[in-house]
Chains A and B, each alone.
Chain A
Amino acid sequence: MVRQAPLWTALLAGAVLLALATIAAVGRGVAVARRAAGAGTPVAEVARLLAQQRRSTLAADRLLWRSGPAAVCVAAALAALVVPLGRWTAWDSPVGVVWFNAMEVVVWAGLWLVGWGANSVWGVVAGYRFLAQGLAYELPHMFALTTVALGAGSLRVGDVVAAQSGLWFVVWMPVAFVAYLVAALAMAFWGPFDAPAQADLAGGLGAELSGVDALLLRAGRYLMLTAAAAFAVPAFLGGGAGPLLPAWLWSLLKTVAVLGFLVWLRDRLPTVRMERYTELSWLVLLPATLVQALLVAIVVLLR
């Protein structure tokens, strides 16, 4: 059903990801300004950061520091490669689900580097905060992806979409879907999981960043959120399946809907502290996703 597209579509996948992330940023600008005038905010910010001179700190580890924000952007772009757009995918990898997971984990390394490299206390604390967050959200996230692969009997994203031709996974794997969305917010340190970039750390990860580096970190955050929202569509929402409209348009519409929901959530929930979320994640979310995986395994065995 989902087929390998020509090699050049890898660039198209990146362009679509960037366009969707821009829409998310513009939407957020409008939401924050509470009027249409906010739509220009992201554009103005990009222009300002591109023109801004890069500052540095005393004894910063510049190699590590500057590779951090870039790694986040590259990881999001590589993760988006395995997300099919309708009936076509830029890279029909036999282990697409694991690939997405691996690229999402690159964010761990990238954000820790951002925090560490600046040789600033705010950055270091923020970097460690994100690692604590990562250890909290990663296992429920992995079990959610495992459940999806279990239901499809394959790690290929195309097979996952094909397995949902009868019933979308979101219907009979609701717990995995919720765990996935929570992890999507956490990996982009978005919404309630923005403790690593909070004002109590003077901006945390971004405290000492300026110019292009700050731009890359903020863009990487939106790109990662977009990639995570886009992957939810083939994983849980039936990919390009839908009436009347062409498959690629359904993929885009569903992605925009999930992305819009995630962006909207940000101002609705207070920032959660890591020690609180860790306990919640390990004592509630992790057993819940395990039970979900067990139920799906039983259904798969019996059917």
Chain B
Amino acid sequence: MQLVVFVVCAVGAVAAGAAVFRVDSMARATFALLASFVFVAVDVLLLHLAYLGVLVILMMIMEMVVMAVFMIMYMMNPAGLMPMSMMHNRRGALAISAGTFVLLAAGILLVRWPARRGAPPAEPTRQLGEALMGSKMLVMMVLGLALFATMVATVVLAQHRGRYDRYGDELERRVPDDPIRGGVGR
């Protein structure tokens, strides 16, 4: 049963991944990629990593839907009305992908895999939390800070109007002058 689910999801993930480059609309490409991620998430669930598997599903759906918005905004042929291709730099891409495949496959076959010592923990979610909040805390804090700073910087750079537009040249306005009013009475 597990083997069947694994094979179906593994083949499905690869097929959906390939479909990203075969379909002719950005919307379809995005959702083919999402399908590929969900198949991988099911394989993660098979490893009894329930939290990580469900989290992959949750995050990937949100990410792909938000990505669809941006991809359709910036990329060619959003509606699939004209021919489009997701393939660029064909020779280079072929060389890189073939090289990566050979490297990973050789690694799988040549590395002497260690035998398992001990048993899996009863609660992998707790183990994960303790690892993230314990020994890996510094890494996670730096990572979180860097991501947050990136987001703030991107929003600031993308802003059409700065604070002088909103609050006046001397920042004298008490209430900002916004073209679209928000919901808290400003």
Question: 0/1 per residue, B117-145, Cβ < 8 Å to A?
Answer: 00000010100000000000000000000
Q: Which of A61, A99, A277 contacts B183 (CB 8 A)?
A: A277
Q: Which of B11-37 contact A (CB under 8 A)?
A: 25, 27-28, 31, 34
Are A275 and B183 touching (Cβ within 8 A)?
yes
Q: Which residues of B (34-63) have their CB < 8 Å from a CB of A?
A: 34, 50-51, 54-55, 57-58, 61-62
On whether the beta carbons of B28 and A64 are closer than 8 Å, the reply is: yes
Q: In the bound complex, do residue A284 and residue B184 qualify as a contact, i.e. CB atoms below 8 Å apart?
A: yes
Kindly list the 10 A-B residue pairs having the minimum CB-CB distance in the complex, ordered from nearest: A279-B182, A276-B183, A280-B183, A102-B58, A279-B183, A95-B50, A102-B57, A98-B54, A105-B61, A95-B51
- What band does the interface of chain B fall in when counting residues whose beta carbon is under 8 Å from A? 20 to 34
Is B151 interfacial (CB-CB < 8 Å)? no
Selected from B34, B68, B125, B182, the residue in CB contact (under 8 A) with A95 is B125
**Quick one: CB contact mask for A275-290 with B, threshold 8 Å, 1 for yes?**
1111111011000000
Residue of B nearest to A142 (CB): B58
A108 at the interface (CB under 8 A from B): yes
Besides A98-B54, A109-B34, 18 more A-B contacts (Cβ < 8 Å) are: A59-B81, A61-B80, A64-B27, A64-B28, A94-B123, A94-B125, A98-B55, A101-B58, A102-B54, A105-B58, A108-B61, A109-B64, A113-B27, A131-B65, A131-B66, A275-B182, A278-B182, A278-B183
* Residues 78 to 97 of chain B near chain A (Cβ within 8 Å): 79-81
> Does chain B have a CB within 8 A of A119?
yes
B69 on the A face (CB < 8 A) = yes
Q: Show 5 A/B contacts (Cβ-Cβ < 8 Å), sorted by A.
A: A105-B62, A108-B62, A109-B61, A131-B69, A275-B182
Interface of A toward B, CB cutoff 8 Å: 59, 61, 63-64, 93-95, 98-99, 101-102, 105-106, 108-109, 112-113, 116-117, 119, 128, 131, 134-135, 138, 155, 272, 275-281, 283-284
Check A95–B54 contact: CB distance below 8 A. yes
Q: Which residues of A contact B158 (CB under 8 A)?
A: none
The answer to whether A106 and B61 have CB atoms under 8 Å apart is yes
Complex alpha-carbon distance, A142 and B125, angstroms:
18
Decide yes or no whether B180 CB sits under 8 A from chain A. Answer: yes
Contact A128 B54 (CB under 8 A): no
The smallest beta-carbon distance between B184 and chain A, in angstroms, is: 6
Interface status of B181 (Cβ within 8 A of chain A) = yes
Determine whether the beta carbon of B184 is less than 8 Å from that of A283.
Answer: yes
Q: Is the interface of B mostly helix, strand, loop or mixed?
A: helix
Q: Nearest Cβ distance between residue B137 and chain A, in whole angstroms?
A: 17
Compute how far the CA of A99 lies from the CA of B55 in the bound complex, rounded to whole angstroms.
8
Report the Cα distance A116→B73, complex, angstroms.
13
Which chain B residues lie closer than 8 Å to A280 at the CB level? Answer: 182-184
- A281–B184 Cα distance when bound, in Å, is 10
Residues of A within 8 A of B25 (CB): 61
| Docked complex Cα distance between A112 and B70 (Å) | 13
B27–A116 CB distance below 8 A: yes
In the complex with contacts A64-B31, A93-B50, A102-B57, A276-B79 CB distance below 8 A: no
Q: Which of B92-106 contact A (CB under 8 A)?
A: none
Residues of B within 8 A of A94 (CB): 50-51, 123, 125
In this complex, the member of A64, A93, A134, A284 whose beta carbon has the largest number of chain B beta carbons within 10 angstroms is: A64
CA distance A30 to B96 in the complex (A): 64
Residues of A within 8 A of B183 (CB): 272, 275-281
A85 CB, nearest partner CB in chain B, Å:
22
Task: Find chain A residues with CB under 8 A from B27 CB.
Answer: 61, 64, 113, 116-117
Q: Nearest A residue to B79 by beta-carbon distance?
A: A119
Say which residue of A102, A116, A276 sits within 8 Å of B61 (CB atoms).
A102
Shortest distance in angstroms between B73's beta carbon and chain A's nearest beta carbon? 10
A75 closest partner in B (C-beta):
B61
CA distance A155 to B181 in the complex (A): 39
What B residues does A117 contact at CB under 8 A?
A: 27
Q: Tell me the nearest residue of chain A to B80, going by C-beta.
A: A61
Whether B62 and A98, one on each chain, are in contact in the complex, defined by CB atoms closer than 8 angstroms, is no
B159-186: CB near A (< 8 Å → 1, else 0) gives 0000000000000000000001111101
Q: Is the CB of B181 within 8 A of A59?
A: no
Q: A275: which B residues are within 8 A, CB to CB?
A: 180-183
| Cα separation A292 to B165 with both chains bound (whole Å) | 35
Q: Using Cβ atoms and an 8 Å threshold, which residues of chain A touch B186?
A: 279
